[in-house]
A and B are shown apart, each in its own frame.
Chain A
């Protein structure tokens, strides 16, 4: 009986994969060759002819080796997850942060939501940059477009659109309560109000603005696709 694994291993010496992964590939290809040869033999071919026909499935082992290498090397492939989620998400985050910095430096004064404290002092509970909020639909639209173009699912697209509010959500939902627990000097009722208004101003409102642009873009992209299909018959 022929040792197909030894044969495949001999031909795929250039295959540079992790040892376990390499062994898997060799075992899988060897099993395929063995079954092909057995089947041909069962159909009445001589063993020699069956082996010859089986081996004719691979014209160029070097090419096969390089194609397997390319297909299996994870680090060389820009995976779908990166194209459909991470890249659009990070770009929307960067753009929204950049716009916020621009608005803070060059834009009009922010809208300060304040509250009178027990000592009649005006205490700010949230600072809202309205021009930034109005620019966010464009950022959301970009996230939706990039994710959609990469063939992302609806979930990946929605996540990319709202990704810029993620850091704010973390800071409001984890950071602020932690500060309240650790710092006893902070007036607690003020902190809860700040948390609520801050969540509205920095998470809910930006998410709504991002989603407005993103969902509108998704709507137009899907309509364009439909009209192309109709045009294509």
Chain B
């Protein structure tokens, strides 16, 4: 079973990575992550929003209400400079972890 710390770490990395490409609202973000990971990472509403709010509290992302062309109001999230700064060590830590697991388990795609 994957521990909550690891789950949270991957979620944070996934969210910051997609937001680095541009601002997104919650639903779009969940879809983008699911598409880009070919369905391996799926965020339900219950998993996504507490995570977004926590990251917003930490100052990694910032949400602001926007109205789409269809007139629907949605809260759009952007990565902040603090979040960008957090992203590179997170990437490095995860690369190290996956590298270590790959060596340990001899699984080529770990």
Contact = CB atoms under 8 A, between A and B. Distances in A.
Chains A and B form a bound pair = yes
Interface of A: 24-25, 27-29, 31-33, 35-36, 57-60, 63-64, 67-68, 70-72, 74, 77, 79-80, 153, 229, 232-233
B58 A80 contact: yes
B2 interface: no
Given A68-B50, A74-B57, 15 more contacts: A24-B75, A32-B26, A36-B27, A57-B44, A57-B46, A58-B44, A58-B45, A58-B46, A64-B45, A67-B46, A71-B50, A72-B53, A153-B85, A229-B92, A233-B96
| Interface majority SS (helix, strand, loop, mixed), chain B | helix
B46 A59 contact: yes
Interface of B: 25-27, 30, 44-46, 48-51, 53-54, 57-59, 65, 72-75, 82, 85, 92, 96, 99-100, 103
A65 to B, nearest CB: 10
Contacts of B85: 153
A63 B92 CA distance: 32
A57 B50 CA distance: 13
Contacts, number: 70
Contacts of B75: 24, 28, 31
9 contacts: A28-B26, A28-B74, A29-B49, A32-B27, A36-B27, A59-B46, A68-B50, A80-B58, A153-B85
Contacts of B45: 29, 32-33, 36, 57-58, 64
A136 B50 CA distance: 43
A29 B72 CA distance: 13
The 3 closest A-B CB pairs, nearest first, are: A71-B53, A67-B50, A57-B44
Contact of A229 (B27, B46, B96): B96
A80 B59 contact: yes
A60 B72 CA distance: 27
B73 A31 contact: yes
Contacts of B51: 71
Nearest to B103: A233
B57 A35 contact: no
Contact of A77 (B46, B49, B57, B99): B57
